[in-house]
Chain A
Amino acid sequence: MKFTPEEIIESLDGVQRAEPKPFLYTRINARIAKEESTGFSLILKVISAPAFSLGIAVLIVLINGYFMMKSTDSTIDTSDLSQGIAAEYNQHSLDPYEIPK
């Protein structure tokens, strides 16, 4: 090997800072403007916001709660139904264990 490991490690001593190509600010500005003009980035920004996901979660819980409340309110009155069936088939009772007269 031409160089020792120590020499190689020291090769960065006194290194000058590298600079980007000129007009970096202009290029960054152009990129920001381009990104802002696309509606997709705006949608992504909205979707990725924590407030959005929290809002969606609350909405799901509320919808779930609404349907649960609705289902308990509208329990079918089975007595009316059984009487209707009994009348239709000339039965006085729908009890399967009742001995027919």
Chain B
Amino acid sequence: MTEQELIIGLKNGEEDAFKALVETRQGIVYNTVLGFLQNPLDAEDVTQDVFIKIFESISQFKGEAALTTWVYRVAVTTALEFIRKKKRKKRFGFISPLFGEENEQTIELPDFHHPGVLLDRREMSAILFKAIKKLPENQQIAFILNKLEGLSYQEVAEIMKLSLSAVESLIHRAKTNLKEILKNFNNL
């Protein structure tokens, strides 16, 4: 199925097209989302959210960018929305018991080990993932897409709707900030 056929199929609500989209793009969506959330269970849920969003809003896809670029955008926004929502919940967590909402246990998660990292680098990557969380949002996006997804600066620029030089600058600043954060590694 060509990309054009896939888009037409999706817009017509064809099940085969949606199945093909999920099967061909599940890896990029899950891996991107996992990079932001650093939690496989949340990443599974958010990956499902991403595909449901795509299924419901495919009519908004105008074809100005490649389908994969659009899928990346939906994945990044959905992951960031999830993080913001979680932070809000945490911030107002003391209020929810007053309204009888379920008490979610706030368990400090262990270090995140990305399953694709080589065994001898796992310890280092766990430290890196902790440091990535401390970066500003835009730098996080650029760094994750470039380093974890292995996308070129040009591809990152298309996803983020930025110029190539802006992405170069973002990644440069991300690395500088990471070095600074990692110097104080013991405080992480």
Contact = CB atoms under 8 A, between A and B. Distances in A.
The majority secondary structure among interface residues of chain B is helix
Main secondary structure of the interface of A (DSSP, over half): helix
B116 A27 contact: no
Contacts of B147: 12-13, 15
Interface residues of B, number: 40
B115 A18 contact: yes
B185 to A, nearest CB: 6
B69 interface: no
Interface of B: 19, 22-23, 26-28, 30-31, 34, 40, 43-44, 47-48, 51-52, 55, 114-118, 121, 123-125, 127-128, 131, 147-150, 175, 178-179, 182-183, 185-186
A31 B48 contact: yes
A5 B52 contact: no
Interface residues of A, number: 25
A19 B26 contact: yes
B174 to A, nearest CB: 9
Contact of B178 (A3, A5, A18, A35): A5
Contacts of B43: 20
B55 A11 contact: no
A19 B47 CA distance: 11
